Structure 1
Amino acid sequence: MPLLRRYAGMATAEGGTPNNGTGVDLRASLGRFLRRPLASYYLILGSAGLLLLLGLIMVFSSTTYMSTQQFGHPAYYFTRQLLWVLVALPVAWVISRMPLRFLRALSLLMVIGAIVLLALTYVPGLGVVRGGSRNWLDFGGPFLLQPSEAAKLALVIWAAHVFANKGKLLRHWRHLVVPVGPIAAVVVGLTIGQGDLGTSVIMMLILLGMLWVIGVPTWLFGLTLGGVGVLGVYLIATAEHRLARILTFLDPFSDYSVTGYQPANSIFALANGGWWGTGLGASTQKWGPLPEQHTDFIFAILGEELGLPGSLMVIVLFLAFGYAGLRIATRTKDTFVRLAAAGITGWFMVQTVINLGMVLAVFPVVGVPLPLVSYGGASMVVTIAAVGVMLALAKQEPGAKEALAARRRRRQRQEART
């Protein structure tokens, strides 16, 4: 009895009520964790790190047969993916420790560089067509560059910087439109001209989300949203292959051999996996029936091999990332931090929803990879760099800097003792 009273007293002191079960213990532990100043930092780091690790595993699993057939050994694509990750991690580490004023100072150069690279895709001999889109650059080396991926991050950072500088001027709608509107139109226009509608849609939705966070007047937001909708309908209606995808995505089997081939085989993969999956490495769709199984449709292979638990794990990790991003945006008083966090979080969440929608045949196939999981060079580097930006933003939360300083002092004392 004294032991029980002592335990109840400890629980009451920590959480207000005695713990009477594992569920209460977990809720109390989660509550204590979320009250920590660095909770968002660790959520971003943990969720992104686990997604990256899972992505490497699935890239290897989904490409063993293809790598063997094309290059004679099973780890070709995995090795390239690992190389890009090893290149990107130091970049993210540097960005996460970079003062925000320096990042903001670079934002204009970033967006100018993105526009130049996008324009170079139209130069004969440099621009490369893949998957029906001219959105790759080939400078003659072993790797191709996809400028539209870098343009997403550059546009978010620069727009957040411009809006933060304007301050109270944003009460006037003209300052909401200029100069972000024209520059964004150039970036999106160049991306649309490449034939990459999926990335263009993501860019427009990111900017709409940032405008919503700013508190744009309802009439202007509605006008912008309507303009984006009209543009999307026009682009779909004037391209035969896009219109065919829209007309068949609800029933991929109606045109199985052409536009419905990818989504139909994605459904086959998920159905084959069932509740518990076939086991890691035991996918049948990766042997050829499912195109782009390591890029846009890697979630289908993951669902086939790891079943519902693996699929839910990916969704939970993305939700944790999204929660942390929104937490940063709502807790900070810095306008740049709020807008940049909202923009990057919106980018990741929108792209994830679109990708999962393609895999589940809920949305048409628009060629959008799953962040941090799908195979890709430039997209992986830029995505990991964006995680580095989010870590830098997380350090601006109330009490975060003090907590980091205290952690450094503890580490120094421990090193001094040894």
Structure 2
Amino acid sequence: MTAARIEPDAPAGPHRPPVRPREAVSGLLRRPMASYYLLLASSGLLLGLGLIMVLSASSIDSYATSGSAFTIFIKQLTFAVLGIPAFWLALRLPMRVWPMLGWPLVVLAVILLLLLPFLGKEVNDAKLWLAIGPIQIQPVEVAKLALVLWGSAVLVRKRPLLTEWRHLAVPLLVVSVVLFGLVGIEDFGGMVLLLFILIALLWTAGVRFRVFATLGAIAVVGLVPLIAGNPERISRLTSFTDPFAHQDQAGYQVVRGFYSLGTGGWFGLGLGQSREKWGGLPEAHNDFIFAIIGEELGVLGCLVVVVLFGALTYAGIRVATRVDDPFRRLVAAAGTVWLAGQALVNMGGVVGLLPITGVPLPLISAGGSSLVLTMFVVGMLASFARHEPEAVLALHARGRPWWMRWAGIPLPELPGRSRQALRSGRAGRPLGRPTHRTRTGGRR
């Protein structure tokens, strides 16, 4: 009698091929609310990492000046808490209000910049902060937001006339030159970021290439006197070419930043174990916090920061390409270039690829007005992400959850096309994609 051969059990269901990471990520990005959640995730992680690194980088300096290792951190945490209402305000502002904010912000920015020489607080031979009682703000941050909103509204209004120079020059270039001049007197890095914003606006609006060539020539001519008339800027440029030859003077901060980055290696010395923050590296919790990240968290920590900023930039550009309103498209593109360009200028200066300009690392460096305005801009981008056509359908299909009603965040307005798609049951499916049909016209 032979023993019966036991066959292995067959799988209960059909064989499922393993999910590849690339396909999984692609599937997540195809979801209607992908831009919104990617903005929240990347900016939230950057803010959390920034608070941790400000505490670590500022503890020694804070204890030496105030007797407590938490003074600067508590101040930064306070501004982060104040940034939450700014984010919430930007998230719930009606779309019709955004174009109206341009001119008031331009007027406010010009007034603040004109007051800066008289009421400004001088730090490192430059007046960048305006002290009004207990409140200190950086007028350049208001100027950036003003140029984004006002410039977008002007370009949308003059869209059919952008081929004519006089319509492009008045008032866009005139007001831009006024802002550049007032900012560039004290803050060269801020003026460079304003130039980035203007270029992003013109590029997104479809201005011809010869306009960029002309603006580039004008910018070079205008930058020369602003650099030549300031000895500190000249010393920064000369030390940029060979910082070790000027390590006792203008190149000191750059060289100490190199030492900080080089000490960390791949995995870093450990959180809180930086050596350069013990008085060796100036502005360790502010402009050069990226060097402390490299020292304590290593190359991997720096790569995490770069990836998070890359995700934030991708989400912002995705919003700019998917919204159907020209004004929102321009604002999203310019706001994204603002944040990405500022991060690039800061990190490029720390690693020696760009001259030092003194701009903070968004969401990470210590700084009150910069953090609050940055969170406002992120809230603005998140609001525009909720107004993508597919996102509008998905939000109306699911309704307002309790937390959205509690926070007072309204549903985005439903356009006529989206309303028809919602009624036909296409909510959450990309607009404009035809349904799969056979050649005979029947549905598969």
Q: Give the alignment's TM-score, normalised by structure 1.
A: 0.91
Inter-partner Cα distance in structure 2 for 1:4 and 1:278: 51
Equivalent position SS for 1:294? coil
Deviation of 1:407 after TM superposition, in Å, equals 3.4
Q: After the TM superposition, which residues 242-261 of structure 1 pair with which residues of structure 2 at under 5 Å, given as runs? A: 242-261=233-252
In 1, Cα distance between equivalents of 2:10 and 2:350: 57
- Is the 8 Å Cα contact of residues 159 and 205 (structure 2) preserved in structure 1? no
Alignment of 1:385-404 (within 5 A): 385-404=376-395
Query: Which one has the bigger helix percentage?
Result: 1
Separation (CA, whole Å) in 2 of partners of 1:251 and 1:5: 67
Bigger shift: residues 43-52 or 206-215: 206-215
Cα displacement string for residues 44-100 of structure 1 (whole angstroms, at most 9, x for unaligned residues): 111011000000000000011111110011100000001011111111112111112
Q: Which residue of 2 aligns with 1:149?
A: 141
Contiguous gaps of at least 5 residues in structure 1: 9-17
Distance 1:196 1:350 in 2: 16
Contact between 1:67 and 1:74, CA under 8 Å: does it hold in 2? yes
- Tell me the alpha carbon deviations over residues 175-210 of structure 1, each in whole angstroms, 9 at most, x when there is no partner: 2222111111111111112x2101011101210121
- 8 Å CA contact 1:135, 1:191 repeated in 2: no
Instruction: After TM superposition, give the deviation of residue 383 of structure 1 in Å.
Output: 0.8
Residue 402 of structure 1, CA deviation: 1.8
Does residue 6 in structure 1 map to residue 1 in structure 2? no
Report the Cα offset of residue 342 of structure 1.
Answer: 0.7
**Which residue, out of 306, 326, 334, partners 1:335?**
326
User: In the TM superposition, what is the alpha-carbon distance from 1:411 to its structure 2 partner?
Assistant: 5.6
What's the offset of the Cα at 1:5?
6.1
Instruction: Tell me which of 127, 136, 143 is aligned to 2:129.
Output: 136
Matches within 5 A, 1:208-223: 208-223=199-214
Q: Distance in 2 between matches of 1:296 and 1:350?
A: 15
**Could you tell which deviates more after superposition, 395-404 or 152-161?**
395-404
Counterpart residue number, 2:106: 111
- Given that 1:199 and 1:368 are in contact with CA atoms closer than 8 Å, whether structure 2 keeps it comes out as yes
Return the TM-score normalized by structure 2: 0.86
Aligned to 1:88: 83
Q: Separation in 2 of the partners of 1:56 and 1:247?
A: 34
Counterpart in the other structure of 1:183: 175
Aligned-pair RMSD on alpha carbons? 1.7
**Partner of residue 57 from structure 1, selected from 36, 39, 52:** 52
Give the Cα separation in 2 of the matches to 1:359 and 1:71. Answer: 28
Name the residue aligned to 1:12. none
Structure 2 residue identity aligned to 1:163: L
Query: Does the Cα contact within 8 Å between 2:101 and 2:149 map onto a contact in 1?
Result: no
**Counterparts of 2:216 and 2:39, CA distance in 1:** 30
2:35 to 30, 37, 40: 40
- Specify whether residues 324 and 4 from structure 1 end up closer, same or farther in structure 2 by C-alpha distance, changes over 3 A only: farther
Identity of aligned residues (%): 43
Displacement of 1:170 after TM fit? 2.4
Cα distance in 2 for partners of 1:409, 1:322 equals 28
Corresponding position of 2:158: 166
The one of 292, 300, 325 equivalent to 1:309 is: 300
Contact residue 372 and residue 383 of structure 1 kept, 8 A: yes
Give the greater-gyration-radius structure (CA). Answer: 2
Question: For the residues of structure 2 that align with 1:187 and 1:379, how far apart are their CA atoms?
Answer: 18
What is the deviation of 1:4? Answer: 8.1
Moved more, 28-37 or 317-326: 28-37
Contact (CA 8 Å) 2:323, 2:385: kept in 1 or not?
A: no
Structure 2 residue 356 is matched with structure 1 residue 348: no
Matched, 1:286 2:270: no
Q: Which amino acid aligns with 1:180?
A: L
| Contact kept in structure 1, 2:363 and 2:374, CA below 8 Å | yes
Give the deviation of 1:38 after TM superposition.
1.1
CA contact (8 A) 2:147 2:197 kept: no
Match of 2:317 in 1: 326
Tell me the distance in 1 between the aligned counterparts of 2:225 and 2:115. 26
Per-residue deviation, 1:401: 1.3
CA distance in 2, matches of 1:224, 1:99: 34
Rounded to whole Å, the distance in 2 between the matches of 1:366 and 1:117 is 21
Higher RCO (C-alpha 8 Å, min separation 6):
1
Q: 1:276 to 1:333 in 2, by over 3 A?
A: same
What is the CA-CA distance between 1:409 and the residue it aligns to? 4.9
- Aligned equivalents of 1:87 and 1:227: distance in 2? 39
Distance, in Å, in 2 between the alignment partners of 1:183 and 1:411 is 44
